[in-house]
């Protein structure tokens, strides 16, 4: 049989995680098709770790199993009429490249999610979101391979149990599936979502009053570039923590003490607070310890200036969680997966 994939041994994972942490893996393979993936899994006896862009992971130690990098590509039109289009996209496609493809073709719905690092396959996993849009708003279906028996399964949008930075793939089905493709339903008659304050401000400064999806994408890219470090220059994983959600009493208690605290009412009567604000308020923003620290422009982002270990960054996150607990009585949760 023709073997198309190559299993490598004892290689560094530094190029495969956006935190640029230098750990090694016992084995490593990149798969380009579902068939290759099935062959790899049927031969494999090691513990596996699936990665896409490696943009939501902090390695604190070497990995003793097989890392499978998902490089399954392809964008296919499944259905199209004058109002909408359904695209089936290989999970290994780069997320931002896919967004740019949609923006160029005027397929609307994900322009607010421009410049998010990672792959298409990782997007449903943690229901990526930014500037008033979550990927769950446009996902029709997720195709995934069950690792235990290599069968292919289809998850409808509701079956994915999407929530804030969460889905069934991070909760009850964690580690059981390998996402192979995602179907997106996008609009050809865009409903522009520029309600997020920062986007409105950026559009104004660009002199745009009737924005197209290209303008929204440009505005988002400008905002992200001004606030978030580029992983190619400074190792990071975007927001390290989730924004905490609290009840009315807790929100009021904190607001009495900190009148300028931002908060966002949720549909179910709870309130989302800005973890970045909490962390900044305790003086962490821009704090640098040797070659790692808290980003100077967005306190939710922890950074590796080069050469830091995953444990150092993990310990910093523990310290931040502990001071937030003491000062605000809030338990911060990590958004990044720790390994
Ligand atoms: N804030 C501070 N200090 C900071 C950061 C934020 O005071 O260092 C305040 C801001 O002034 C604002 C509020 O917190 O009042 C919210 O800030 P921002 O709009 O920057 O958004 P965020 O809640 O900090 C979330 C996402 C980001 C996403 C932005 C924009 C999470 C965990 N993070 O951040 O997602 O880009 O909204 O929609 O929900 C990511 O997940 O990697 C990510 C970057």
Give domain limits for the chain. Answer: 8-70, 75-187, 197-223, 235-338
pLDDT, mean of residues 301-323: 98
CATH of domain 8-70: 3.30.43.10
295 lines ligand 1 (CB under 6 A): no
239 lines ligand 1 (CB under 6 A): yes
What pLDDT does residue 329 have?
97
97 pLDDT more than 80: yes
- Ligand 1 atom showing the smallest separation from residue 299 Cα: 8
**323 three-class SS:** helix
Residue, of 43 and 197, whose pLDDT is higher: 43
What pLDDT does residue 2 have?
59
Q: Distance between CA 66 and CA 47 in Å, rounded?
A: 6
What pLDDT does residue 84 have?
97
The reply to whether 75-187 shares the fold of 8-70 is no
CATH of domain 75-187: 3.30.465.10
**What are the beta bridge partners of residue 187?**
84, 108
What pLDDT does residue 3 have?
62
User: Could you say which of 39, 123, 165, 237 is catalytic?
Assistant: 165
Share of the chain above pLDDT 90, in %: 94
Is pTM, for the whole model, over 0.95?
no
pLDDT, mean of residues 136-162: 97
**Residue 4: pLDDT band by 50, 70, 90 thresholds?**
confident
Q: Which of 60-64, 134-138, 202-206 has the lowest mean pLDDT?
A: 202-206
What pLDDT does residue 194 have?
76
112 lines ligand 1 (CB under 6 A): no
Contact at 8 Å (CB) between 28 and 10?
no
299 lines ligand 1 (CB under 6 A): yes
Share of the chain above pLDDT 70, in %: 99
Ligand 1 centroid, distance to 253 Cα (angstroms): 22
What pLDDT does residue 1 have?
52
Active site residue 334: no
CATH classification for the domain delimited by 235-338, as one of 1.10.240.10, 3.30.1490.20, 3.90.78.10, 3.90.25.10: 3.90.78.10
Contact at 8 Å (CB) between 32 and 14?
no
* pLDDT tens digits along 109-126: 999 999 999 999 999 999
- Ligand 1 atom showing the smallest separation from residue 285 Cα: 8
In terms of DSSP H, where are the helices of the chain?
A: 34-43, 95-104, 122-125, 197-206, 213-227, 248-257, 275-281, 310-328
């Amino acid at each position: 049989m023709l073997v198309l994939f190559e299993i490598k041994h004892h290689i560094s994972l530094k190029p495969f995680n956006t935190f640029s942490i230098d750990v090694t893996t016992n084995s490593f393979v990149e798969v380009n098709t579902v068939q290759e993936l099935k062959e790899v899994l049927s031969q494999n006896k090691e513990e596996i770790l699936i990665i896409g862009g490696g943009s939501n992971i902090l390695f604190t130690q070497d990995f003793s199993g097989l890392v499978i990098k998902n490089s399954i590509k392809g964008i296919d039109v499944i259905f199209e009429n004058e109002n909408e289009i359904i695209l089936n996209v290989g999970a290994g496609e780069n997320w931002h490249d896919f967004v740019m493809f949609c923006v160029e073709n005027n397929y609307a719905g994900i322009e607010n999610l421009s410049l998010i690092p990672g792959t298409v396959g990782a997007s449903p996993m943690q229901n990526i979101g930014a500037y008033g849009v979550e990927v769950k708003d446009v996902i029709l279906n997720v195709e995934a391979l069950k690792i235990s028996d290599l069968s292919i399964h289809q998850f409808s949008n509701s079956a994915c149990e999407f929530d804030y930075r969460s889905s069934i793939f991070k909760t009850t089905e964690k580690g059981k599936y390998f996402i192979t493709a995602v179907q997106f339903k996008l609009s050809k008659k865009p409903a522009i979502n520029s309600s997020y304050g920062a986007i409105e401000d950026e559009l104004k400064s660009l002199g745009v009053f009737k924005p197209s999806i290209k303008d929204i994408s440009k505005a988002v890219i400008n905002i992200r570039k001004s606030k978030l470090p580029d992983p190619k220059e400074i190792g990071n994983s975007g927001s390290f923590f989730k924004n905490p959600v609290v009840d009315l009493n807790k929100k009021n208690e904190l607001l009495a003490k900190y009148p300028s605290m931002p908060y966002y009412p949720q549909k179910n009567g709870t309130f989302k607070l800005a973890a970045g604000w909490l962390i900044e308020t305790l003086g962490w923003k821009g704090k640098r310890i040797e070659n790692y620290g808290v980003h100077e422009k967005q306190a939710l982002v922890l950074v590796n200036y080069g050469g830091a270990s995953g444990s150092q960054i993990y310990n910093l996150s523990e310290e931040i969680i502990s001071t937030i607990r003491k000062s605000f009585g809030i338990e911060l949760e990590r958004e990044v997966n720790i390994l």
